[in-house]
Structure 1
Amino acid sequence: MTRRSRRLFTTATAGVTAALLLGGCGGGDGDKSDSNGKIAGADTGASTSTSPSASATAAEDAGRPKIALPSDVKLTFAPESTGDAVKDAILKDNAEFIRALDAAIVAQNPRLPALEYYTEGEGAVASQDWVQSFKKAGWTVTGTVRYVDRVVSVESKKTASLTYCGDESKGYTKVIKTGVVEQTKVDKNSYVAYGVQVEKNDKGVWELVKIASTRGAAKCQP
């Protein structure tokens, strides 16, 4: 989406997870906020115009919801795996959370089942508020967003944290009513740092419980 609109949403959600320390990339003009809203698609029959994401088969594991993304929304994640089973499970569920968040934006549904599946507590509230901001503005998302430098720190059998960078230089906001894609010049604010905390629930899912971002962070600049 546009850098302008992302700054607005970052400001709107600032303070939700201000206590979460960031060790990785960059986000909103020094503001801290909840997660990035750049995914798309639908879950549990949300949209007939979408095609299954590459993660659809994996998402079926342990009863995980299927998430479908529109063809104009592409998300990539690096690394996808580390060779460590626990860290790989955390990376996988984090990617599914990001897909579910964009799926909720496309569906204009803050309570999309897939999003609720991967969030809990403050993380759920922050994610729902983010989606509601898009719904209120009449916006959806389009384009490509890359999530890179993904690093997992395992704290216990049921708690962990991640840091990663979001490259939004080719990701945009689209006005739903008109279909107009709002683009702005790529600058430092096209790159966002994320810090998240996750907890493993009784189903074995690593749910997002806290998230913060910093737009324009030096560590995430190309």
Structure 2
Amino acid sequence: MTRHLTPAVAATTAALLLAGCGGGGSGSKGGGGAAGVDTGKSASASPSASATGGRPRIELPSDVKLTFTPDKTGDAVKDAVLADNAELIRALNAAIVAQNPRFPALEYYAEGEGAVEAQEWVKSFKDVGWTVTGTVRYFDRKVSLESGNKASLTYCGDESKGYSKVIKTNEIKQTKVTKDSYVAYGVQVQKNDEGVWELVKIASTRGADRCRP
């Protein structure tokens, strides 16, 4: 992502690199432009997988695709952590599409330092008038339970087919696929009183060997 943004915007990327905006030379055509900029929704949107239990329904435009593997481990608590982490990532992308750092679903899944970082990241897109398009794959997702209400996750992000897009012109920012198209994440989450596993801290390493093909 840093190879796409202005120096001022790039300064925030070390803290939070969730939205896929890498690039391949023959990548996505994008399709919808700035779909959902006003509302965060699109007529051809892909709805959130878990719009139940009081959780917000998150919709992404059809040109933004996110995949998560594994999505289940067989352990109910770990599966809940994975599910809420996937929703946090969807919410972050929906916030970028909506150009809204205070996107309600994003605030629902992030707290404290994690919420501040997420808001700053969305604001960095808004400040330059960019959104996201393409496909990002999140894989090798592993959960470690630390206590009754705390957990940590590690996972990889493949951004080789994810791009930034200029809202006004629909120009898709594409670059060659390199080792930096693959990102390793370390995330801390905490379960709140409503049973939601909220993001409280995140770190990332771009070009990590363990995430590269």
Pairing partner for 2:45 from 37, 51, 70: 51
2:212 equivalent to 1:218:
no
Shift in CA distance, 205/64, structure 1 to aligned 2, threshold 3 Å? same
Partners of 2:192 and 2:45 lie apart in 1 by 29
Structure 1 stretches (4+) deviating beyond 3 angstroms? 6-11, 38-42
What's 2:18 paired with? 36
Shift in CA distance, 200/7, structure 1 to aligned 2, threshold 3 Å? farther
User: Where do 5+ consecutive residues of structure 2 fail to align?
Assistant: 22-33
Residue deviations 1:28-50 (CA, integer Å, cap 9, x gap): xxxx42241239986xx533434
Partners of 2:6 and 2:154 lie apart in 1 by 20
Kept in 1, the 8 Å contact 2:46–2:62? The answer is no
Q: Which has the higher contact order (CA 8 A, sep 6+)?
A: 1
What's 1:83 paired with? 74
Structural RMSD (CA): 2.4
Residue deviations 1:114-151 (CA, integer Å, cap 9, x gap): 00000000000000000000000111000000000000
SS for the counterpart of 2:97 is helix
User: Where do 5+ consecutive residues of structure 1 fail to align?
Assistant: 15-31
2:165 equivalent to 1:171:
no
**Equivalent AA in structure 1 for residue 20 of structure 2:** K
Partners of 1:7 and 1:190 lie apart in 2 by 18
What's 1:20 paired with? none
Identity of matched residues, %: 65
Shift of 1:7: 9.2
Shift in CA distance, 99/62, structure 1 to aligned 2, threshold 3 Å? same
The aligned runs of 1:133-172 (5 Å cut-off) are 133-172=124-163
Shift in CA distance, 206/88, structure 1 to aligned 2, threshold 3 Å? same
Which TM-score applies when normalising by structure 2? 0.87
Kept in 1, the 8 Å contact 2:67–2:137? The answer is yes
* Count, aligned residues: 201
Which TM-score applies when normalising by structure 1? 0.84
Please identify which structure carries the higher helix content.
1
